[in-house]
Chain A
């Protein structure tokens, strides 16, 4: 079985983006954080379960929809830019959250 690189890179981008949004929304919305906590007993564990499930699901779905004629450098650029932006977003958010919470 050939690995569909387009689907794999898009699944990675989707998962990283979702983890970032879920994390920020959970910090801003107590009811959403409670839902995450109730899912597994701990909100961080739930984020892990959701991210693995989403990654697998996105890959399986996208590999059926997207043809694997990837421009691998373009796909890699998307992944790297997403990682940097998501990391910065989380960093800036938690600095802001800490300063405004105190």
Chain B
């Protein structure tokens, strides 16, 4: 049976990605109300990534390591763990810190983001980076699940 925590980890992570996409959209053409919403979205996004870290970490340590990893390694796509999962579990660690920095910039510059094009461009670039890395995490999660499914199908056949 699929562990519910993996779904929770993925869903919260995607909410984090959507939150920073929201910040990006609000700051494309910022006004005071948009900046107010961007501050809320950035703070929420950081909290979502922290929650996703806890949920994913608990799943990884208590369930994935003992039960899923050996299955993938014995299947037809051992690289799904050996490369993809190894990269994912470590690159994921970048997201909470990138989120904290972006949130820090939004709270620091506040309404100055309307006039300060440099600060606004910086926040937009960081949001784009967070969205891209977050979507990469989702794609890697799909590849890892496929590796596990392929291994289980091999055992049934």
Contacts and interface: CB of A to CB of B under 8 A. Distances in A.
Interface of A: 2-3, 5, 8-9, 11-12, 15-16, 19-20, 23, 41-42, 44-45, 47-48, 51, 55, 71-73, 75-76, 79-80, 83, 86-87, 90-91, 94-95, 97-98, 101-102
Given A42-B61, A98-B79, A9 B101 contact: yes
A15 B122 contact: no
Given A94-B83, A94-B87, A83 B104 contact: no
Q: Which 3 A-B pairs have the closest CB atoms?
A: A76-B122, A98-B82, A3-B108
B93 A73 contact: no
Interface stretch (B10-18, B35-43, B125-133, B146-154): B125-133
11 contacts: A9-B101, A11-B97, A19-B94, A44-B60, A45-B61, A47-B93, A48-B53, A73-B122, A79-B126, A94-B87, A97-B86
A101 B126 CA distance: 36
Interface residues of B, number: 34
B68 interface: no
Contact of A19 (B79, B87, B93): B93
Contact of A44 (B61, B83, B94, B118): B61
B57 interface: yes
A12 B97 contact: yes
B89 to A, nearest CB: 6
A5 B108 contact: yes
A73 to B, nearest CB: 5
B108 A2 contact: yes
Interface string B72-109: 00000011001100110111011001101100110111
A22 B107 CA distance: 31
Nearest to A71: B118
Contacts, number: 95
B91 A87 contact: yes
Given A44-B57, A45-B61, A48-B53, A8 B89 contact: no
Contacts of A55: 97, 100
A23 B61 contact: no
A41 B61 CA distance: 9
A101 B109 CA distance: 49
A72 B119 contact: yes
